[in-house]
Structure 1
Amino acid sequence: MSLPRIGLRTGFDTATVLGIASGFLLVGAAVVLGGSSVAFLDAASFLIVVGGTLGVSIASYSWTEVGAARRVLVRTLRRPAIAPRDAALLVLGVADNARRRGVLALQPLLPQLRRFPFLVNGLGLILDGLGIGEVETSLRQEIEATTARHATGAAFMRKAAEVAPAMGLIGTLVGLVQMLGRLEDPTSIGPAMAVALLTTLYGAVLANMLFAPLATKLERNATEEALVSQIYLTGLVSILRQENPRRLELQLNTLLPPAQRLNVFN
């Protein structure tokens, strides 16, 4: 069995980008159709909500965690990814080659697999002569570290989604205080009331249309990446145990969703 040709899903995650963009566009269209769109723009409200949300969220984490969250977010919006079923086909092909030609025959395959660093790392450990326990421990630690990075990114976005409405409420109170302090000047009531209402609007929009969806996508991607890594780990352990690829196929099918299960050897 030769290695299958696996295509990477590159470029922007269109579901995330288009989903968030269309949500903002529809809200913007409703604002424009409802009357004066300028009334929904207020610099003070924007600064209170956006600046306050970012400040409180950053204060809740270390700079290292903030940097990790930023990198994970960038990878979520634009990163190569392999589907779990494709990963299973790939590791099944590697295992079949190891079964037929021996483990050392996998060395020439490493350049073809350079796009899959976790798999290449595991094969490198096997070629270095490490035992099953050492390989499994090392790779599980790598999976846990990757999962922790994703969890930090998702938690940062969840924190921002929690803080944004609170900052909107703070802005509302600021606007009400300004309005009540200037009741003798009727011209100041409108701008102060605008700050009071728009901060609540900005906070709700950012929390529910930006931060919460991004947190959900980060969690989803973390789950899928962990599944792909588990598929690779299962295949690598099977190679070390010199198991029949048919048995490996059965093991991989227990990890895959029913609609994505393999039927290579049957």
Structure 2
Amino acid sequence: MDRLSVIGTVLALVALVGGAVLKGAGLAGLWSPAAFIIVIVGTLAAILLQTSLGTFMRAMKMLAWVYKPPAHDHAAVIAQIVEWSTIARKQGLLGLESQVAAQTDPFLGKGLQMVVDGVEPESIRQMLEIELHGQSSRDLAAAKVYEGMGIYAPTLGIVGAVLGLMAVMKNLADPSKLGHGIAAAFTATIYGIGSANLALLPIGNKLKTLINARTLEREMIVEGLIAIAQGENPRNIEARLNGYVH
């Protein structure tokens, strides 16, 4: 569990709700069905027009990463690769064959299988980098779904405010309705700016950070597997891979 994400979410709610209460607007002032439809539903409609179904579904699945990110134990990965290099130097590349089935990471398992099969190091690099680039591109496209919503939401908040003020202008003859109408109009602006800056844009940036961390780890794996295929000294491999960590 990512504690910072949990704390950030709680503080965002405290800032919004607490600010509304302290300013005298009250909790009721934050609720407006019309603003919800214009801003939230409108933002969803805009992003669906922009995004393919596969990318959108990927973005929804990746939302869980904000609170439970993929594990990245660089030290453990380096130790595993160094151990494999030691086995390869003592028993040959075929000595790693029993390790392939034990891998839970398909990327790592695929790379190790190519090493065992005696594939040329440059061919290993080329195939793994193609897969790495494709996966990173798909993940970044999914993260940009939240960035896109963070761009559309404030604009739709302004649209909601303008529509609300238009309704107020129609009731100028009835002063009793003016205050409520103006408050409802500005609620849409709160929905737009608040959802963008307290949720959507931070989520997008957090996902991009996690994607970059996983890409770095896989680049390290590629270098380690190629070094094993080339028969490099385990100590040299460890020193090279530690550069990715530090």
Is TM (by shorter chain) over 0.5? Answer: yes
Residue 81 in structure 1 maps to residue 86 in structure 2:
no
Deviations 1:54-104 (A, max 9, x none): 111121112222122223333444354123333222222222222222211
Deviations 1:16-65 (A, max 9, x none): 23312332133212323443321222111122111111111121112222
Deviations 1:145-174 (A, max 9, x none): 111122112211111111111011001100
Counterparts of 1:55-66 in structure 2 under 5 Å? 55-66=45-56
Partner of 1:47: 37
Partner of 1:67: 57
The one-letter code sitting in structure 1 at the alignment partner of 2:80 is: L
- Tell me, in whole angstroms, the C-alpha distance in 2 between the residues paired with 1:188 and 1:69: 42
- Tell me, in whole angstroms, the C-alpha distance in 2 between the residues paired with 1:98 and 1:43: 65
- Tell me, in whole angstroms, the C-alpha distance in 2 between the residues paired with 1:29 and 1:111: 53
Counterparts of 1:16-35 in structure 2 under 5 Å? 16-35=5-24
* 8 Å Cα contact 1:161/1:208 also seen in 2: yes
Deviations 1:85-134 (A, max 9, x none): 332222222222222222112122234432x3221111112223322122
Which residue, out of 92, 98, 105, partners 1:108? 98
Q: Tell me the TM-score normalized by structure 2.
A: 0.91
- Tell me, in whole angstroms, the C-alpha distance in 1 between the residues paired with 2:3 and 2:88: 37
Q: Tell me the TM-score normalized by structure 1.
A: 0.85
Closer/same/farther in 2, CA of residues 80 and 111 from structure 1, 3 Å limit: farther
- Once the two structures are TM-superposed, the CA of residue 248 in structure 1 deviates from its matched residue by 0.9
The one-letter code sitting in structure 2 at the alignment partner of 1:186 is: P
Residue 234 in structure 1 maps to residue 241 in structure 2:
no
Partner of 2:186: 197
Partner of 1:163: 152
- Tell me, in whole angstroms, the C-alpha distance in 2 between the residues paired with 1:246 and 1:94: 12
Which residue, out of 243, 247, 253, partners 2:232? 243
Say which is worse superposed, 131-140 or 69-78, in terms of deviation: 69-78
Which residue, out of 214, 219, 234, partners 1:225? 214
- Tell me, in whole angstroms, the C-alpha distance in 1 between the residues paired with 2:82 and 2:29: 60
The one-letter code sitting in structure 2 at the alignment partner of 1:59 is: L
* 8 Å Cα contact 2:168/2:178 also seen in 1: yes
Q: Please, what is the CA RMSD of the aligned residues? A: 1.8
- Once the two structures are TM-superposed, the CA of residue 253 in structure 1 deviates from its matched residue by 2.6
Partner of 2:106: 117
- Tell me, in whole angstroms, the C-alpha distance in 2 between the residues paired with 1:27 and 1:85: 40
- Tell me, in whole angstroms, the C-alpha distance in 2 between the residues paired with 1:232 and 1:80: 16
* 8 Å Cα contact 1:31/1:37 also seen in 2: yes
- Tell me, in whole angstroms, the C-alpha distance in 2 between the residues paired with 1:190 and 1:92: 70
Which segments of 5 or more consecutive residues in structure 2 lack a partner in the other structure? Answer: none
* 8 Å Cα contact 1:73/1:153 also seen in 2: no
Partner of 1:177: 166
- Once the two structures are TM-superposed, the CA of residue 195 in structure 1 deviates from its matched residue by 2.4
Partner of 2:2: 13
- Tell me, in whole angstroms, the C-alpha distance in 2 between the residues paired with 1:122 and 1:158: 33
- Tell me, in whole angstroms, the C-alpha distance in 1 between the residues paired with 2:155 and 2:220: 42
Deviations 1:155-209 (A, max 9, x none): 1111111111101100110011111111112233233212221111111110011
SS at the partner of 1:113? coil
Residue 152 in structure 1 maps to residue 144 in structure 2:
no
